[in-house]
Chain A
Amino acid sequence: MPDQPYDLIVGLETHVQLLTQTKLFCGCSTKFGAAPNTQTCPVCIGLPGSLPVMNRKAFRLGLVAAIALNCEIPEFTKWDRKQYYYPDLPKGYQISQYDLPMSKSGWLEISDPKGRFATKKVGIIRAHLEEDAGKSLHDEAAGKADSRIDLNRTGTPLLEIVSAPDIRSTEETRAYLTELKLLLTYLNVSDCNMQEGSLRVDANVNIHIQTLQGKIATPIVEIKNLNSFRFIERALAYEAKRQYDVWQETGRKMGDPGTFKQTRGWDDAKGVTFSQREKEESSDYRYFPDPDLCPVITLAGDVREVRGSLAELPAAMRHRLEKSYGITPYDSDVIVAQGQPLVTYYEEVARIGGDGKKAANWVTQEVLRVLNEQAWSLEKFPLTAGALGELVKLVVAGEIEITRAKEVFNDMVAHKRSAAESMAALGIGKVDSSELEAICREIVAANPKIVADVKSGKQQAVGALVGQAKKKNPNANPNDVRRICLEIIERM
């Protein structure tokens, strides 16, 4: 952060809902948007006598994510009961993992093509598997002071991913979350949809202040339920300043007697974080191993098998595209961020077009522009990679020049036809060389001042002749016009 008297320190706790058909401990559906209390059973309601049985696919997805995050996978893992009382937690405890989680000590690399921060590895302290709670809906009807409880969501499998406090700016925060979301969607571990609640973020924030006595750290504040990337950025910026102001007023620092971890929420309308009253006793979760669930043993061979089954990860994909096609980190970032289908599309365009850089420009600028304007997904886009590749090939060969090529492109999209068909329809083609010679001789003859400028050393002046050439024939290639005119002038 520029010119701040403090450094922002952020650790992020994200909860992602795993892409399983059914819940973590029972066969109820995890489908989003069902009518309240229609996806529950004795197990997830926590009826007397019910028992949990672990979803094999959920465990595997957790393993996939943990391995992709470069975590260590301990051989032995178990589940524990985290006990507290809340109406959306029907058993009075959440089945989670406490001291022996399924993974720990990993990292996620983040980078910024715009160079606002140096590439770094953000540590992942742990990733563990736990069940979700239900939902509490406040009754809007006038005069009613009830909360309404919907248990559809109880028992949905969650992976809780805890980062180390290695994040140092709102840009890094956004990059971490973007990369994490990209990774997990690539792996089909989660759809990371913040609007639907399949990606939830809590931030642990404090600041380091440089004083004459050395570095002071303020007490850590947990900001909960940040519902969008924008909210997160705004909340962090606000909170950092608020902590600085409080420190200036009170001098309280981390570790001072009487300070404990505060919890705050973000009110986007007011643009402030606010304190959420929490009694001290609620932090005694009385964890103990869940006697109803058996521990899981994961051997090195299992880890190898899972690692071997992983598709190419986004980071590796970006590096490979940069190396193989000579494109910039900025472009590879844009392409990979769109997902596997666009990467496949791009590579095909580059292969047929014969020029990776040009293909990247066409894909990131023209294709994505149209997709955004039309709100299309790639499947709906009318140009196959082959068709676009052909166009690029023509541009590379100099058969069309760039502005005309864009007209061709738009026509191809609008009429779903090939480059050749569009060119014919638009009357675009390479100008016959003798015709071009004739045109150039004409305009050179008509522009003695430009000739004089060029002859006196101002080569660029010839550029003014391009427009004139195009008026005589719109298909005139600007580079050819410049070259031929210069030759003619030189011979004069």
Chain B
Amino acid sequence: MSLTAHSAADLLRDLAARKVSSVELVNAYAERIRRLDGQIKAFLHVDFDAALARAKEIDGRRAAGKPVGKLGGLPVAIKDVLCTQGIKTTCASKILQNFVPPYDATVVRKLKEADAVILGKTNMDEFAMGGSTENSAYFKTTNPWDTSRVPGGSSGGAAACLAAGMAPLSIGTDTGGSIRQPAAFCGVTGIKPTYGRVSRYGLVAFASSLDQIGPLGRSAEDCALLLEAIAGHDPRDSTSADLPVPEYAKSVSQPLAGLKLGLVREYFGKGLDSEIEAAVREAVKVYQSLGATVKELSMPHSKYGIATYYIIAPSEASSNLARYDGVHYGYRTDEKAMLDELAAEQKKYEAENNTKKLADLDTPLIRLYRKTRAEGFGPEVKRRIMLGTYTLSAGYYDAYYLKALKVRRLIRQDYDRAFEEVDFLVGPTTPNPAFKLGEKTDDPLAMYLEDLYTVTLNLAGLGGISLPCGFTKSGLPIGLQLQCRPFDEERLLRAAAMYQRATDWHTKRPTIGGKE
């Protein structure tokens, strides 16, 4: 079996036992990336020289008997939405095409301290807005299981590179399902931790009260390893929880007896693909064979999740993206062309004697902002900025934003009630499997409705995982979602690992272009 086919946990054991070196690993993954990424296009940038240098340094330390971090020499891919010092961070947008952060995100710093080796930055939907990675300003990532289909989004690159064996671990972010949904589409495992579990310092903000950074891996065990390294309180993030980090990697293999699972009635309505439903119900049976009991319950406000999310997220996004104005960093429109354009307009309106248009004419500064942002942002980002600006504007704030915040509380209350009766909610991650590239790009609302099962978790601020639980007849992965109580990731991982010991969906690998 080639190196890149091993789990991260196995690789870590081999690294510790000096059966394999970090340099060898980096070379193996680099080789695979060179061979396959032309087709998959998961990476926005890679730097193998830097990775090898780092790997060499870690190998040297290990050989000298010096201490090595918890991820000692393991390669990791990072979604290009986290700031990496000295390395371009674009958020898959033109407006940050040349942005080089002068600082590391806390998660990046922690990965470095744990001696992970950064392979590269992965592709995503621009500013994490989207569910297919088709909104990247650079190129589209394809699904390794069927390269005519999307890998999901917005962490499409992070999920695809794992599925294609181009990295053993990756870091993604989840605001409305952006880790869980691509994990489901690509047949890998991914966690959105409880809000506050992982520091957001250095995460380029999309929707501040919903964003969380999380691990993706080929198994719950691998995710446990990565989560342990990145979780923890950060004084630089006022919203980060001051709670100790459990030893996820140690406990993940311990099963849970007497699990109480909840099936949400509202998740199984029309709109759910029948193959997905069948796979999920089969998965529930597996849990029952492992001693779990299942209860059906209702989350009456879950149907309002999308509407609530698509008010709150764009509102916060419109504010978070106001800083991209071409003044202090990022792309700026061609000033001379802009001034010429203004002068021409002025002349035109003067000739027409159009006093209203003259009075309303943009000042150079305003036109600079408007052109920079129009040229720098893609259509989906613009749409969400427009929507969010509208819902926060005078006269509409109460009816939209404030109302959504109240429904959000009702959604959270549904979860609190549910968790009085059960340990985890179990259900499908997505209503449909991976769709074809271009299939949903005409109708934004249709794309939004695919987030049906994932958005409520972000709104409630709780944790959840997606793990593979089967395939459609056409060979597309199906994801099972478990949702947990606040800060209950330790048991969530154990529950997922239990399932993965009893099944082998997560071990399946796609053949890409006829090759393994």
Contact = CB atoms under 8 A, between A and B. Distances in A.
Contact flag (A, B; Cβ within 8 A): yes
A93 B238 contact: no
Contact of B203 (A45, A49, A284): A49
A288 B239 contact: no
Contacts of B204: 48-49
Interface of A: 42, 45-54, 81, 83, 85, 87, 90-93, 149, 151, 284, 286-288, 291-294
Contacts of B103: 42, 47
A288 B103 CA distance: 28
Contacts of B102: 42, 47
Most buried by A among B96, B207, B209: B209
Contact of B105 (A49, A81, A85): A49
Contacts of A286: 319, 389, 392-394, 397
Interface stretch (B36-44, B57-65, B162-170, B325-333): B325-333
A484 to B, nearest CB: 82
B222 interface: no
Nearest to B339: A145
A49 B173 CA distance: 13
A313 to B, nearest CB: 33
B208 interface: yes
A49 B201 contact: yes
B205 A48 contact: yes
A286 B401 CA distance: 11
Contact of B316 (A46, A92, A149, A291): A291
A90 B327 contact: yes
29 contacts: A42-B101, A45-B328, A47-B101, A48-B83, A48-B91, A48-B96, A48-B99, A48-B204, A48-B329, A49-B200, A49-B204, A51-B200, A51-B237, A51-B238, A52-B238, A83-B392, A85-B369, A90-B323, A90-B328, A91-B322, A91-B323, A92-B319, A149-B328, A151-B328, A286-B319, A286-B389, A288-B401, A292-B238, A294-B238
Contacts of A288: 315, 319, 392, 397, 401
Contacts of B369: 85
Contacts of B366: 85
Nearest to A26: B236
Interface of B: 82-83, 89, 91, 96, 99, 101-103, 105, 200-205, 207-209, 235-239, 315-316, 319, 322-323, 325, 327-329, 365-366, 369, 389, 392-394, 397, 401
A49 B205 contact: yes
Please list the 4 inter-chain residue pairs (A to B) with the smallest Cβ-Cβ separation, ordered nearest first: A92-B322, A291-B209, A291-B208, A286-B392
Given A48-B89, A291-B209, A87 B322 contact: no
B327 A149 contact: yes
A49 B82 contact: yes
B375 to A, nearest CB: 17
Nearest to A37: B328
B201 A50 contact: yes
A91 B238 CA distance: 18
Contacts of A90: 323, 327-328
Nearest to B240: A51
A49 B101 contact: yes
A53 B238 contact: yes
Given A49-B83, A50-B202, 9 more contacts: A46-B323, A47-B83, A49-B82, A83-B322, A91-B322, A149-B328, A286-B393, A288-B315, A291-B316
Contacts of B96: 48
B407 to A, nearest CB: 16
A93 B322 contact: yes
A42 B96 CA distance: 15
B201 to A, nearest CB: 5
A85 B322 contact: yes
B323 A48 contact: yes
B107 to A, nearest CB: 10
B323 A92 contact: yes
Contacts of B393: 284, 286
Contacts of A81: 319
Nearest to B127: A48
A52 B238 CA distance: 7
A51 B107 CA distance: 14
A87 B101 contact: no
A399 to B, nearest CB: 67
A81 B203 CA distance: 19
A286 B328 CA distance: 23
Nearest to B103: A42
A83 B325 CA distance: 13
A233 B235 CA distance: 47
A46 B205 CA distance: 11
A49 B238 contact: no
A301 B326 CA distance: 48
Contact of B329 (A47, A52, A293): A47
Nearest to A149: B327
Contacts of B315: 288
A294 B196 CA distance: 12
A151 B82 CA distance: 24
B370 to A, nearest CB: 10
A287 B236 CA distance: 24
B392 A292 contact: no
Given A284-B393, A286-B392, A292-B208, A51 B201 contact: yes
Contacts of B91: 48
Contacts of B329: 45, 47-48
Contacts of B203: 49
Contacts of A284: 393-394
A52 B101 CA distance: 17
Contacts of B236: 51, 53
B496 to A, nearest CB: 29
A200 B235 CA distance: 32
Nearest to B235: A53
B93 to A, nearest CB: 10
Contacts of B201: 49-51
A287 B315 CA distance: 11
B392 A54 contact: no
Given A49-B204, A288-B319, A293 B325 contact: no
Contacts of B328: 45-46, 90, 149, 151
Contacts of A54: 238
A137 to B, nearest CB: 14
A131 to B, nearest CB: 14
A414 B319 CA distance: 65
A54 B237 CA distance: 10
A258 to B, nearest CB: 15
A83 B319 contact: yes
A133 to B, nearest CB: 13
Given A47-B101, A286-B394, A288-B392, A93 B319 contact: yes
B325 A85 contact: yes
B238 A293 contact: yes
A53 B209 CA distance: 15
A146 to B, nearest CB: 10
Contacts of A151: 328
Contacts of B316: 291
B97 to A, nearest CB: 13
Nearest to B108: A49
